[in-house]
């Protein structure tokens, strides 16, 4: 039975080319990737890119398919999940996005397109807690993020972890999902720290 993935924004702002490639590999090290069962990690993720990166990806290989405002990469990331690139008019301006769609559901590119448009048409720039955590994970260097190992309790193993500066305690390894609001703020870039909380759709 097909289960639709949660469509989620994983980076705030326009990703540079190095940002884009880092996000292509943001699940490297996840136990599910090693086990070949990573579709749920990628399917539904999206972020904004610049026109130059959109056009660059279009020129790499002939697309699997192409429509008026989107195209799909021929090479699949995992299972039925591949990159879909969007060129969308939002509030009178053309903007560009990358998303991972599970093409076993033919509706997934259109569903993602609608979610992106709805999300980016909000009158006030804001972020949900989950978007803040995803941005932190996407922008943290591999040396400072990882996954709970066998040293953690069994029910926590494989969950995402990040290194924090703990003041007098030095660096502290903590589960990403357990970060406090103050810790989240400290890990975000200055220009994102004071954005209002958005209500998750």
Residue 19: HSE in the Cβ half-sphere, 13 Å Cα cutoff: 20
pLDDT in tens, the chain (201 residues): 334 568 999 999 999 999 999 999 888 888 888 777 788 889 999 999 999 999 999 998 889 999 999 999 998 888 889 999 999 999 889 999 999 999 999 999 999 999 999 999 876 677 889 999 999 999 998 889 989 988 889 999 889 999 988 677 778 889 999 999 989 988 888 777 776 676 544
Give residues with Cβ within 8 angstroms of 145, minimum separation 6: 137, 160, 161, 162, 163, 176
Residue 1, pLDDT score: 32
Residue 155, pLDDT score: 92
Residue 198, pLDDT score: 65
Count of all residues that appear for the chain in the document = 201
Q: Check if the beta carbon of residue 72 is closer than 8 Å to that of residue 101.
A: yes
How many CB atoms neighbour CB 182 within 10 A?
8
Q: Check if the beta carbon of residue 201 is closer than 8 Å to that of residue 118.
A: yes
Structure tokens at 85: 């690139």
**What is the rounded CA–CA span in Å between residue 84 and residue 65?**
10
Residue 4, pLDDT score: 52
Residue 157, pLDDT score: 87
Strand partners for 76: 82
Helix (H) or strand (E) holding 111: helix 108-120
Q: Report pTM.
A: 0.86
Which of helix, strand or coil describes residue 26? coil
């Amino acid at each position: 039975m097909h289960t639709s993935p949660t469509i989620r924004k994983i980076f705030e702002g326009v990703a540079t080319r190095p940002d884009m490639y880092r996000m292509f590999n943001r699940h490297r090290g996840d136990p599910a990737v090693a086990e070949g069962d990573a579709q749920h990690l990628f399917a539904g993720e999206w972020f904004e890119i610049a026109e130059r990166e959109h056009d660059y990806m279009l020129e790499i290989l002939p697309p699997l398919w192409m429509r008026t405002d989107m195209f799909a990469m021929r090479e699949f990331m995992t299972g039925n999940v591949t990159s879909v690139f969007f060129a969308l008019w939002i509030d009178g301006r053309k903007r560009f996005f990358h998303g991972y769609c599970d093409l076993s559901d033919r509706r997934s590119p259109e569903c993602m397109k609608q979610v992106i448009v709805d999300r980016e048409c909000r009158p006030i720039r804001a972020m949900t807690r989950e978007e803040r955590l995803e941005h932190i994970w996407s922008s943290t260097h591999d040396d400072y993020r990882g996954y709970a190992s066998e040293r953690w309790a069994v029910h926590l193993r494989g969950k995402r972890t990040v290194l924090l500066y703990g003041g007098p305690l030095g660096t502290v390894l903590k589960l990403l999902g357990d970060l406090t609001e103050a810790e989240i703020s400290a890990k975000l870039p200055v220009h994102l720290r004071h954005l209002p909380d958005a209500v998750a759709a």
